[in-house]
């Protein structure tokens, strides 16, 4: 069941009113990612304010989630001696059947949930529809209520919770950010139709022929008489298809790592519908029209079975298409939890900052409406390009509005004094020792500029790396030439930015704008009104900065980079050798319990990152780790690009990280994903240069697979990133196709007008010539009087041909799965078709582990799959 956005505070208010200090603690399951950590910080602040006991449990993957379910969640059930309670999943389990994974909904058991209520707040898509439209304890079965929907508890309609719903009995509650109500109507109808269908085995028979041909067969199942026990569909299949008795019954897949569930599970011990139950078919089949002369003949059991099979296949096709559409991301969960705090009237600067950091971290990790993909940056459509398109722009604008509301301007600002950020200077210090405000800042697309030199900050920026092509000597010369044009010496730009000359800082923005267009860097710095006024309060492209008095001033991007580095590398000594040693600790006990060794590694990292979100000194201590990680990304990415270690396969490009001093860092999926996005953005720029500024694949970059070897464990960590796209890219492509079609229509109209004018002139000449011949008394068809040859067949023929992509886009052939990352389903297909030993355990389904010996066959089979929608 799902909780609509308008009722986001309903369950929390009930928890607030029913919990006391002696109640069982709320169990919070948190994914190991910055957005989930920020959401957890916001939620725990709310719980502490209301004196609600809680426990935080980090979760690394699906295997760990199952372990937590058996050890912590299942014992909470009242049927197992527990007292019930609430489990909150932050970034965890939205794509799998949580009832089975956590053990609160055993198969073929009516006593489900046992008072355990699971809240699911997750930005991963697609949803598991069993959680969204099911996931609640059914009411007791009666003679009048036997189906799934008939036994739905009060306050739930079609899986939607309304105001009449009373929590307390347990269930799985998905927090809807708006996507479910806006986009899943078709999937809801299909799901609800399937759960109320009778059980029936599908032997794959062809249903293309009409039902009427089997109406009069003598071997059909006779109709049920009054008082006779009704047979289930499985009984009929045994009678009709005895040769299939040894075929195993189709069961729902229970693999927790599978992103593609099967048909929804039906309630156990549910009353089966009979063949003549009118609820099975709401309308008659057009192949069986009733006769006007005699009463309509009742359809036979075979006919009804075939109709039911056809309906079932259609509905299963709808769900299958949804699950195979590809992975994507919706609103960051830190933003969702901040919305909850706002509904409760608890918003403040601390919670707002956590939400800003969480949203910013999603962009840093490439998690967009197209899945994990290279950001699509198009100068001609800035408002709908980049992270999450229009939705991302709306979220950022709401955050900017909240910053203005909770951080009013200083009293002295009304005297006409212009703040430094409005002149283009990046704020690096607080305004006073007590300043803890959040400010908007014209942040350039540099990396850790406050904590690095200007040279290093620009050198390690993925934006500049791809556009200046800094993996080559020519690219580095471009960077040096840019500094020379701006009048900044290499000695000055290698100083710490905070200690650079103030005049140089003031003029930096103007100089960057002056020469940006020469180097394809038009989006390097955000726009600023020349008069210093904030027209309409938009400030598109501006970042967020917060101060902690004189102790530090950091941007939200700085914090997101540091938190991510602490999770991926861990807090280490300042020496780079120590970092490499820490990154290799997961390999120290290969023969032992790997899961235990892995937990020993990432648990300290989680708590270090969790503490750093509210401890500025711990956050500052993580800066060297972040700098090392991005040096490793730059060095490794430069080596791959310079040595041309990227292989072109049919469906994607591929590279393997095998050697190098920092190779051990990339055994972590998060670090490997950042490297893949870094390389992918460089490849996208190469494609634009090769195609005249236009990306291939319908405005998207080429998908990329990056693998990193873990020698001690003998496995490759593999990540697949998309080339961008998603719903906003689809709308842009449709708009571009529509403009091209309008231009073609204008050309065609002009060509038709010219053709008609020429035709009229010819007719006039023919009439004049005929009149002249009649006056001379000659033949109307004299030789030599042929009209001029028409040349319109070749006139403008090139504009008659339309691009197939344009026809698809304008005709609606491309659906909402356009451009989504389909590596997750492709990985599943390869595992099902080959003998490759693959471990799929990450919540990011585009990340897998493959045995070293099986990588070649795995990639060969993968190259034949569709990896981007």
CA distances from 107 to 110, 149, 252, 267, 819 (A): 8, 19, 10, 9, 36
Distance between CA atoms of residues 40 and 609, nearest Å: 12
Residue scoring higher pLDDT (566 or 266): 566
DSSP for 376-432, written as a single string: ---GGGGGG-STTHHHHHHHHHHHHHHHHHHSPPPGGGGGTPPPGGGGTPPP-S-SS
CATH 3.30.110 given to domain 2-178: no
**pLDDT given for residue 631 in this prediction:** 94
Residue 415 pLDDT grade (very low, low, confident, very high; cuts 50, 70, 90):
very low
Residue 705 has pLDDT above 60, yes or no: yes
Distance between CA atoms of residues 697 and 820, nearest Å: 12
Residue 411 pLDDT grade (very low, low, confident, very high; cuts 50, 70, 90):
low
Residue 128 has pLDDT above 90, yes or no: yes
Distance between CA atoms of residues 578 and 576, nearest Å: 5
Over residues 654-681, the pLDDT tens digits come to: 999 988 788 889 999 999 999 999 999 8
Distance between CA atoms of residues 676 and 679, nearest Å: 5
Residue scoring higher pLDDT (432 or 799): 432
Domain ranges of the chain: 2-178, 340-410+419-620, 634-725+820-862, 730-760+802-814
Confidence (pTM)? 0.81
Q: Which residues contact 491 (CB under 8 A, 6 or more apart)?
A: none
Residue 779 pLDDT grade (very low, low, confident, very high; cuts 50, 70, 90):
low
**pLDDT given for residue 699 in this prediction:** 52
Tokens at residue 682, please?
């460089």
Residue 120 has pLDDT above 60, yes or no: yes
Residue scoring higher pLDDT (821 or 44): 44
Kindly state the average pLDDT of the residues 772-785.
60
Residue 251 has pLDDT above 80, yes or no: no
**pLDDT given for residue 686 in this prediction:** 83
Over residues 157-211, the pLDDT tens digits come to: 989 999 999 998 899 999 999 899 999 999 999 999 998 888 777 777 777 654 4
**pLDDT given for residue 761 in this prediction:** 86
Residue 831 has pLDDT above 50, yes or no: yes
Kindly state the average pLDDT of the residues 129-140.
89
Residue 558 has pLDDT above 80, yes or no: yes
Place of tokens 């949803």: 127
Over residues 597-649, the pLDDT tens digits come to: 677 788 899 999 999 999 999 999 999 999 999 999 999 999 999 998 999 88
**pLDDT given for residue 208 in this prediction:** 63
Distance between CA atoms of residues 234 and 241, nearest Å: 10
Q: Which residues contact 572 (CB under 8 A, 6 or more apart)?
A: 578, 579, 581, 582, 625
Residue 424 has pLDDT above 60, yes or no: yes
Over residues 435-445, the pLDDT tens digits come to: 899 999 888 88
Residue 577 has pLDDT above 50, yes or no: no
Average pLDDT, the chain: 79
**pLDDT given for residue 224 in this prediction:** 37
- Would you put residue 434 in left (φ > 0), alpha (ψ -120 to 50) or beta? alpha
In which element (H, E) is residue 194 found?
A: helix 185-195
**pLDDT given for residue 527 in this prediction:** 74
CATH for 634-725+820-862, among 3.40.1350, 3.40.50, 1.10.8, 3.10.310? 3.10.310
- Crossing angle, helix 34-49 and helix 594-612, to 10 degrees? 60
Residue 836 has pLDDT above 80, yes or no: yes
Residue scoring higher pLDDT (697 or 575): 697
**Considering only 59-68, 651-660, 790-799, which range has the smallest mean pLDDT?**
790-799
Residue 42 has pLDDT above 50, yes or no: yes
């Amino acid at each position: 069941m799902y909780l609509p956005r308008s009722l986001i505070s309903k369950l929390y208010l009930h928890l607030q009113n029913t919990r006391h200090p002696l109640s069982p603690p709320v169990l919070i399951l948190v994914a190991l990612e910055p957005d989930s950590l920020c959401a957890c910080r916001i939620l725990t602040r709310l719980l502490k304010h209301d004196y609600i006991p809680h426990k935080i449990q980090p979760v690394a993957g699906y295997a760990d989630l199952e372990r937590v379910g058996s050890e912590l969640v299942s014992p909470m059930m009242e049927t197992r001696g527990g007292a019930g309670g609430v489990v909150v999943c932050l970034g965890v389990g939205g794509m799998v059947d949580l009832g089975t994974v956590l053990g609160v909904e055993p198969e073929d058991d009516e006593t489900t949930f046992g008072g355990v209520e699971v809240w699911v707040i997750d930005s991963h898509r697609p949803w598991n529809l069993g959680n969204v439209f099911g996931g609640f304890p059914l009411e007791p079965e009666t003679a009048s209520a036997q189906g799934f929907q008939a036994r739905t508890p009060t306050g739930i309609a079609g899986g939607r919770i309304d105001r009449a719903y009373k929590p307390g009995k347990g269930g799985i509650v998905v927090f809807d950010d708006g996507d479910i109500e806006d986009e899943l109507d078709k999937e809801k109808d299909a799901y609800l139709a399937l759960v109320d269908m009778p059980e029936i085995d599908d032997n794959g028979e062809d249903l293309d022929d009409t039902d009427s041909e089997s109406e009069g067969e003598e071997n059909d199942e006779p109709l049920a008489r009054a008082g006779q026990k009704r047979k289930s569909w499985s009984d009929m299949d045994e009678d009709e298809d005895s040769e299939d008795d040894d075929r195993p019954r189709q069961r729902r897949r229970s693999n927790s790592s599978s992103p593609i569930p099967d048909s929804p599970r039906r309630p156990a011990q549910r009353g089966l519908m009979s063949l003549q139950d009118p609820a099975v078919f709401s309308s008659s089949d057009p192949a069986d029209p009733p006769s006007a002369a005699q009463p309509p003949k009742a359809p036979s059991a075979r006919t009804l079975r075939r109709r039911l099979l056809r309906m079932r296949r259609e509905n299963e096709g709808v769900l299958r298409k949804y699950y195979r559409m590809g992975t994507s991301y919706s609103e960051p969960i830190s933003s969702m939890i901040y919305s909850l705090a706002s509904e409760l009237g608890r918003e403040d600067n601390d919670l707002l900052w956590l939400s800003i950091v969480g949203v910013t971290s999603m962009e840093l990790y490439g998690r967009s409406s197209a899945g994990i993909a290279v950001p699509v940056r198009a100068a001609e459509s800035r408002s709908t390009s980049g992270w999450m398109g229009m939705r991302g722009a709306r979220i950022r604008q709401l955050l900017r509005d909240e910053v203005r509301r909770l951080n009013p301007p200083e009293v002295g600002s009304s005297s006409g004094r212009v703040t430094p950020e409005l002149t283009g200077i990046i704020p690096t210090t607080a305004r006073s020792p007590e300043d803890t405000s959040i400010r908007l800042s014209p942040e350039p697309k540099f990396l850790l500029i406050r904590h690095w030199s200007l040279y290093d900050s620009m050198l390690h920026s993925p934006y500049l790396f791809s556009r200046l092509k800094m993996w080559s000597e020519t690219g580095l010369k471009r960077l040096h030439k840019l500094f020379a044009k701006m009048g900044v010496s290499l000695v000055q730009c290698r100083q710490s930015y905070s200690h650079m000359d103030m005049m140089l800082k003031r003029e930096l923005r103007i100089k960057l704008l002056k020469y940006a267009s020469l180097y394809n860097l038009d989006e390097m710095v955000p726009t600023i009104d020349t008069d210093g006024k904030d027209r309409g309060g938009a400030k598109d492209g501006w970042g967020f900065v917060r101060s902690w008095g004189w102790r530090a001033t950091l941007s939200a991007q700085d914090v997101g980079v540091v938190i991510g580095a602490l999770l991926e590398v861990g807090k280490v000594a300042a020496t780079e050798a120590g970092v490499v040693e820490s990154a290799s600790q997961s390999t120290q006990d290969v023969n032992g319990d790997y899961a235990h060794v892995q937990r020993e590694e990432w648990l300290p990292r989680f708590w270090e990152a969790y503490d750093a979100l509210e401890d500025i000194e711990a956050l500052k201590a993580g800066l060297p780790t972040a700098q090392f990680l991005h040096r490793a990304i730059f060095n490794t990415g430069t080596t791959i690009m310079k040595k041309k270690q990227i292989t072109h396969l049919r469906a994607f490009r591929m590279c393997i990280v095998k050697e190098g001093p920092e190779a051990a860092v990339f055994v972590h999926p998060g670090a490997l994903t950042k490297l893949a996005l870094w390389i992918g953005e460089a490849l996208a720029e190469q494609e634009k240069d090769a195609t005249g500024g236009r990306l291939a694949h319908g405005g998207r970059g080429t998908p990329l697979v990056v693998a990193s070897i873990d020698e001690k464990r003998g496995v490759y960590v593999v990540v697949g990133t998309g080339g961008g796209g998603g719903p906003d890219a689809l709308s842009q492509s449709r708009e571009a196709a529509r403009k091209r079609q309008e231009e073609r229509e204008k050309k065609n109209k002009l060509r038709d007008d010219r053709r008609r004018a020429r035709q009229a002139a010819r007719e006039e000449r023919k009439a004049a010539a005929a009149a002249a011949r009649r006056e001379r008394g000659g033949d109307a068809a004299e030789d030599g009087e042929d009209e001029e040859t028409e040349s319109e067949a070749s006139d403008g023929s090139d504009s008659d041909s339309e691009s197939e992509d344009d026809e698809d886009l304008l005709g609606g052939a491309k659906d909402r799965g356009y451009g989504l990352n389909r590596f997750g389903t492709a990985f599943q297909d390869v595992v099902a078709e080959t003998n490759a030993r693959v471990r799929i355990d990450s919540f990011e389904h585009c990340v897998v582990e493959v045995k070293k010996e099986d990588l070649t066959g795995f990639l060969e089979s993968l190259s034949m799959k569709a990896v981007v929608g």
